[in-house]
Every structure is written in C-alpha cells, then in structure tokens.
C-alpha cells in the first residue's frame, strides 16, 4: 500500500512561523508606534507654545485684559472696551503672527529637505527678496496697496523662484548650485530694491524700510483674511505634494526608480513653498530667519522623522508669535518690528551653520 505523504508547511496556510521574523515585526511595530506618539506629543507641545504666545498677546499690553474677559470677547460677549482692545487691536495681529510663522516654517522645511541643504531657506536663496522687490516696485512705481500689493509680492516670489530654478537646471537640480544661484539672484533683487528706495520720497522710503524689516505693527483684519485664505489653500496642497518628498531626498535616480515623477513632484513642492513665502511676505514683510531655523528645530525634536513639515509650521508659528510679543514689550514706549527679534535668534544660528559647514569641508 502506497504511503500517504502529507505536504510540508505552506506559507500562509498555518505552517510554523519563524520566531525571528515575528520578533522583528513586533519591534518594527513598537518603533512605529513610538515615533507616532513622539510626533503627536511634540506637535501638541509646539501647538501649546503657539497658543500661549497668542494668549499672552491678547492679555498683556498697555491695557491688560484678564483672561476671563478675553474668553468672553472670543465667545461673543465682553464689554465694549474689551471688545475693541481684543477683537480690533490685538487678535488680528496675534493670529497674523501665527499664520505668517507657519507659512515661513513649512516653506523652509520644504526647501531644505528637497534640496538637501540647510542653507536652502527662502530668505537666503532669494525667494523672499523677489517678493519684497516686487512689493516695493508695486507700491512706489504703480501706487498699489492692499490686495494688489499682496498679489505683486506673490508674483515676485514666484518669478524669482522660477528664475532660480531655470538657472540652476543642468539635467537636474543640485542643492548646492540652487543655493549659490539663489544667493546671486537675491543679491541682484536686493540691489534693485535699494535703488527703488533711493528714488522714493522720504516718507515712502521710511515706510518701505519698516516693512522690509518684517513688521506686524498696525496690522489688521484686512491683512489677515487674504493670508488666511491663501494658507488654507496652500498648506494642504503642500502636504499632499510632500508624499514623494522622502523619495526625492534620496536623489533623482533613486526617486525615479521608486516610481516617483521627479520633475513633476519637485516643481509642485517648489511652487507650493514659494507660494507660502510670497503670501507671508506680502502680509508681514520678509521676516528674517524664521524659515531658516524652524525646520532644524523641529527635526531636532523629532530625529529620524524626515522633513517634519507640520512640526516645522508649528515651530514657525510659535517662534513668530513669541517674537512679536517680545517686540511689543521689549522696550518701553516703543514697538520693534518682529523681524528685529527673529534676526537676533536667527543670525547666530546662520553663523554657527556656516562655521560648522566650513569645519566639515562642505558649503552647507
């Protein structure tokens, strides 16, 4: 009688599982859960810092408003004096600071991650210079203001970004070449901006100088609503376009091998990041160094988690919110432009970054 032979263990059919594989899968699962938990905790902490800066800006000032009265105003109540101080004077400025910081922070994270260069910040490579030069030209040469001026700044940022990209293209885009060409283009645009200011009236030049420093002084709802509308559109688009960012960071050939449309993905990310810079600059001027430092801070808090776009946006919001509060109260009887405070934080970081790059023998 022929012996019956039972088939050996078949994969996926109840056969024995290698304990080493099971243990490795469990470790990967624990690592992923830990990373998600850390991401959520850090994002929540940064959000709380931004919220704290917002509440401080609403309560502290020449006329202190208790937190209970602030809450009453925000929920539709409060006395007329509190409503005027909180709703008309402080709330639009405080919200504008957070949205401007979030836009700069996210754009800086995109540029630095995509070009794989810590110096690839829009205020270093000329994108912000394009927005500010276009804004000065629109204001002084054509007399534009309001939404038209914001549109001019956005157009200037997009034109500068396009020019830098075309000049840097050599069968692909190298981060170092993009940065160097961006610095050159930015220098030229700054020269154009300076020439326009020398041709302006004293009052116009003074106002332009304050705007170019990066200032939230005197900002109201009329500046907040256009910025908020653009941010609501651009932030989700940037997050959607960032799905291929991790592959693009590996290089063009590796990204193409993984099925990513390299040029399409890179152009989409650069367009979104440039748009974020343009609308933020139009609302508050070129607030210096926020885009440069936000992403490194976020990545330091979240090691090994890639570009960290959302934490970078929250870091930028917290940074500008806190810097604007300091700008309002650092000196008695005067309000500093917020760009002065952010430069105090960002300039030493830039010097350290350049020194570190020089020590390791690379230009960033």
Q: What is the pLDDT of residue 17?
A: 56
CATH code for position 75: 1.10.3470.10
Is the distance from CB of 71 to CB of 247 less than 8 angstroms?
no
Whether residue 210 is contained in a domain is answered as: yes
Q: Provide the residue-wise pLDDT of the chain in tens; the chain has 364 residues.
A: 444 444 544 444 555 556 766 766 677 677 778 788 888 999 999 999 999 999 999 998 888 888 998 999 888 888 888 899 988 889 999 999 999 999 999 999 999 988 888 878 888 888 988 988 888 888 787 777 767 777 888 889 889 989 998 888 877 777 778 888 999 999 999 998 888 888 877 777 777 777 788 888 888 888 888 889 889 999 999 999 888 887 877 776 777 777 777 778 888 898 999 999 988 988 888 888 899 899 989 988 888 777 789 999 999 999 999 999 999 888 877 888 898 888 888 878 777 776 766 555 444 4
Total domain count, the chain: 1
d(CA 342, CA 7): 71
Best CA proximity match to 177, nearest among 194, 188, 164 = 164
Predicted local confidence at residue 324, as pLDDT: 93
Q: Residue 6 falls within a domain, yes or no?
A: no
Asked, for residue 22, whether it belongs to a domain, the answer is: no
Q: Assess if residue 140 is contained within a domain.
A: yes
CA distances from 87 to 50, 102, 199 (A): 18, 22, 38
> Residue 312 is part of which domain span?
31-356
What pLDDT is attached to residue 357? 60
**Is this model's pTM higher than 0.75 or not?**
yes
- 12 located within any domain: no
Residue 2 placed within a domain: no
Q: Is 362 within the bounds of a domain?
A: no
Q: What is the pLDDT of residue 18?
A: 65
Note whether residue 11 is domain-resident.
no
């Amino acid at each position: 009688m022929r012996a019956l032979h039972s088939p050996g263990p078949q994969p996926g059919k109840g056969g024995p599982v290698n304990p080493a594989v099971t243990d490795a899968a469990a470790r990967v699962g624990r690592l992923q859960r830990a990373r998600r938990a850390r991401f959520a905790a850090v994002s929540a902490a940064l959000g709380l810092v931004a919220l704290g800066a917002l509440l401080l800006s609403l309560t502290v000032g020449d006329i202190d408003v208790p937190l209970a009265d602030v809450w009453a105003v925000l929920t539709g109540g409060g006395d007329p004096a509190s409503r005027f101080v909180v709703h008309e004077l402080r709330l639009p400025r405080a919200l504008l600071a957070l949205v401007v910081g979030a836009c700069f922070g996210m754009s800086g994270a995109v540029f630095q991650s995509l070009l794989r260069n810590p110096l690839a910040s829009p205020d270093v490579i000329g994108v912000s210079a394009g927005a500010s030069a276009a804004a000065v030209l629109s204001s002084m040469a054509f007399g534009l203001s309001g939404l038209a001026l914001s549109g001019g700044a956005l157009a200037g940022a997009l034109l500068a970004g396009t020019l830098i990209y075309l000049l840097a293209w050599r069968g692909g885009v190298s981060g170092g070449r993009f940065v160097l060409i961006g610095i050159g283009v930015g220098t030229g645009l700054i020269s154009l901006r300076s020439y326009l200011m020398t041709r302006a009236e004293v009052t116009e030049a003074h106002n332009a100088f304050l705007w170019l420093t990066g200032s939230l002084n005197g900002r109201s709802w009329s500046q907040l609503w256009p910025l908020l509308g653009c941010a609501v559109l651009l932030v989700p688009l940037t997050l959607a376009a960032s799905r291929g960012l991790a592959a693009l960071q590996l290089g063009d050939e590796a990204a193409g091998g993984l099925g990513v449309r390299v040029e399409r993905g890179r152009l989409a990310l650069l367009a979104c990041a440039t748009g974020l810079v343009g609308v933020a600059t139009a609302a508050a001027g070129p607030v210096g160094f926020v885009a440069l430092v936000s992403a490194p801070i976020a990545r330091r808090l979240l090691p090994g988690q890639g570009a960290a776009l959302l934490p970078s946006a929250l870091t930028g919001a917290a940074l500008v919110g806190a810097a604007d509060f300091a700008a309002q109260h650092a000196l008695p009887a005067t309000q500093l432009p917020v760009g002065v405070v952010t430069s105090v934080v960002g300039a030493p970081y830039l010097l350290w970054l350049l020194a570190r790059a020089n020590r390791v023998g690379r230009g960033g």
